Each structure stands twice: as structure tokens, then as C-alpha cells.
Amino acid sequence: MGEMEVLRVGVCGCAPSFHGKFTGLTVSVQQFKDGALEQPRTFTLEEVIIPEEGDQRDALRDSRTHFFFDVHPGQTSITWIELIPHKRRQAQKGQKDYLYIGGFKGWIREQWYSPEGLGGKEVCRAIEKMLSRLTREKFEQWFLVMNARR
């Protein structure tokens, strides 16, 4: 059996009560928007703390997190992240890939209005639900780009 694939979850530095709650949990996807897989695809979660100070977009881009977990008064959310490679990256040194927080052409996000009682299992179910909204082709393209050049 091969090594388990990884999905990285960026956890905002402002949410210390959630630090350490995601690493090692598993997410399994069998259904995509355009049909079911014969065998479920299973991933382990890896947590990356995203500093509250500084440019969070740069930290998310550099760590290539697949999702971003954030807590604010009255709203807790997990958001799908898409990285679009810069088309002229080769020609213009210093150009960064474009980061879509919430995904391209609309938000893919789950929200809770109170973090009370919220745990890793609920977040895993939300991730599974978000991934099932993608087509298999979109998922494969996204997963390939997010894991490139790490």
C-alpha cells in the first residue's frame, strides 16, 4: 500500500483553541459532481498554522494549503483555496501565482456561527462536502497544482 495523500489545512493563528485538532484526521471522498469513484480516495490532514500578522495570502500561497480554517466572533469557516499559476511566471521573475480564497467563480465554503462544540469530525465532513462539489477533472487539476513545487 502506498503513502496516504495529504490535504493541508491552514489554521489561522487567531484560533489557538483549534491548533493541533486537524493533523492526522482523515477525509474520504467517493462522490464527485460528475459521478462516483469505484474506490474512495482517502487523505490525511496536515495542519499548517497561518500567522495572524503579516500577509496571510502570502503564507497560504507559500504553504500551498488546500483549505483555510478561520475563527471570528459569530462566524467560523473552512474555505477551499485555489492557486492559479501565473501565465508569465517564466518571463517575469518575482511574479507570484494568483491565489483564490474561496475558489474560482464563486465561494466554496462552509460556515458555523458558533465554534462551541465544533471539532475535527465536523470540519472533515465539511471538506468532504466541498470536494464533492468539484468534477473529478477539476479536482485532479487543483490537487496537482496545489502540490506542485513544494
Number of structural domains the chain divides into: 1
β-strands 35-50, 75-84 pairing: unpaired
Amino acid type, 23: T
Phi-psi region of 67 (alpha: psi -120 to 50; beta: other; left: phi over 0): beta
Domain range for residue 24? 5-147
Nearby residues of 142 by Cβ (< 8 Å), 6 or more positions away:
82, 134
For residues 11 and 108, the answer to whether their CB atoms sit within 8 Å is: no
pLDDT digits (tens, 9 = 90+) for 99-143: 777 665 556 788 888 777 788 889 999 999 999 999 999 999 889
Whole-prediction pTM: 0.85
